[in-house]
Amino acid sequence: MRLATIRNGGRDGRLILLSPDGSSYAEPAVATLQSALEQWTDIAPALAAITDFPHPVDPAQLAAPLPRAWQWLDGSAFESHGALMDKVLDIAPEKTGRPLMYQGVSDHFYGPQDDVPMPDETLGIDFEGEFGVIVDAVPMGVTSQDAMAHIRLIVQINDWSLRALAGPEMKTGFGWVQAKPACSMAPFAVTPDELGDQWRDGRVAMDLLVDWNGQRFGAANGEAMGFGFHDLVAHAARTRHLVAGTVIGSGTVSNANFREVGSSCIAERRGIEIVDEGTARTAFMRFGDHIRMEGRLADGRAPFGIIDQQVIAYRGEQ
């Protein structure tokens, strides 16, 4: 199943179910994705039984599939990205053998075509292409093996970052606040079966195509996660329950051969330049820049749809 949310003037929008070809949709009895996740075991069979899709899809009306969530937790599960960033930032984090994770802004996710307002170009505006999962209610202390059954939906995320603020905040010993504005989501949240054999071992084994201002910037594959999503769920739930609708991200999709496949964020590209050439040449984003992200299966399909956004200057009331 592919689920989405259309705008209806409310904070949570209206849940819709996409037809198999994605051209039309049905409006199920449950009104929002959050409500569906809270009663997933009962609702999912009814959703799967829908066969009539009378309404044409208007991409301009699509919000993030989960416009706001109770919780957003982002991991850093790609070792090639983490090792490069540690080297560039001159940080030597303690190696614990456990996933890295922080808690970010969850009360708003930008829709796939929304303009994204930022306060200042000098803050190092950066995109971060990721995959993510949405869970149902997860009990405290769940094992990685049992956590897999709680992963109900998979999403594609742009985790916006302000790099000029990220390093200083990391070095305080506390987590990010100012460096991490609200994220964006691609339009469709999909059940794991939609990815076929490219969902394996708790990983999204598909390329994430990233284009910045019309130029291909990266095409890294999500299978290289050092920890699978089931491991991230178990890590997050070690000492607390996770409410239905918790979103957990993979961190920036990255491959060890990043010089060949490219990167999913500017900071990684700059890190490669620093290591190879001694200085970073690639500038961060400017107002008016566009970013496009598309996770693509081996057969060419884009099950999550496309993130296609412009960065704009914040002028108040946006």
168-223 tens-digit pLDDT = 877 777 778 888 999 999 999 999 999 999 999 999 999 999 999 999 999 999 99
Residues 6+ apart with CB under 8 A from 133: 151, 152, 153, 154, 155, 229, 232, 233, 247, 248
Sign of CA dihedral 232, 234, 238, 243: positive
Show the CA angle centred on residue 181, arms to residues 275 and 133, nearest 5°: 85
Q: Please name the residue that has the structure tokens 């469709």.
A: 188
What confidence tier does 281 reach under pLDDT thresholds 50, 70, 90?
A: very high
73: exposed, middle or buried (Cβ count in 10 Å: 0-12, 13-18, 19+): buried
Could you count the other beta carbons within 10 Å of the beta carbon of residue 191?
A: 18
Q: Is the pTM of this model over 0.85?
A: yes
Question: Residue 209 and residue 261: Cα distance in Å, rounded?
Answer: 10
pLDDT for 80 equals 78
Per-residue pLDDT, 92: 58
Residues 32-41: b if buried by 16+ CB within 10 A, e if exposed: bbbbbbbebe
Average pLDDT, integer, range 220-230? 97
67 pLDDT higher than 90: yes
Domains of the chain: 1-63 (no CATH), 64-313 (3.90.850.10)
Q: What are the C-alpha distances in Å from 317 to residues 59, 117, 313, 314?
A: 24, 10, 12, 8
State the average pLDDT over residues 56-65.
97
Per-residue confidence (pLDDT) for residue 20, from 0 to 100 = 94
pLDDT at 87: 65
Q: How far apart are CA 247 and CA 313, in angstroms?
A: 28
Average pLDDT of every residue of the chain? 94
- CB atoms closer than 10 angstroms to residue 149: 13
At 198 the pLDDT is 98
**Cα radius of gyration rounded to whole Å, the chain:** 19
The whole-angstrom separation of Cα 17 and Cα 1 is 7
Rounded to whole angstroms, the Cα distance separating 305 from 59 reads: 10
pLDDT of the residue at 217: 98
**Lowest model confidence (mean pLDDT) among 4-13, 75-84, 204-213, 246-255:** 75-84
Give the per-residue pLDDT at 18. 98
Q: Judge contact between 72 and 44, C-beta under 8 A.
A: no
Q: Other CB atoms closer than 10 Å to residue 70's CB: what's the count?
A: 16
299/95: higher pLDDT: 299
- 23-59 pLDDT per residue, tens: 999 999 999 999 999 999 999 999 999 999 999 999 9
DSSP helix/strand/coil, 217 = strand
- Terminal-to-terminal C-alpha distance of the chain: 33
Decide: 81 and 209 in contact? Cβ < 8 Å.
no
CB-CB contact of 290 with 210 (8 Å):
no
pLDDT at 118: 97
- The tens digit of pLDDT for each residue in 103-113 reads 999 999 999 99
- pLDDT of 187 reads 98
In 10 A of CB 185, how many CB atoms?
29
Residue 231, H or E segment = helix 229-236
Per residue in 81-98, pLDDT (tens digit) is 767 776 666 655 666 778
Query: From CA 26, how far away is CA 50, in angstroms rounded?
Result: 8
* Res 167: pLDDT: 80
pLDDT digits 0-9 by tens, 118-165: 999 999 999 999 999 999 999 999 999 999 999 999 999 999 999 998
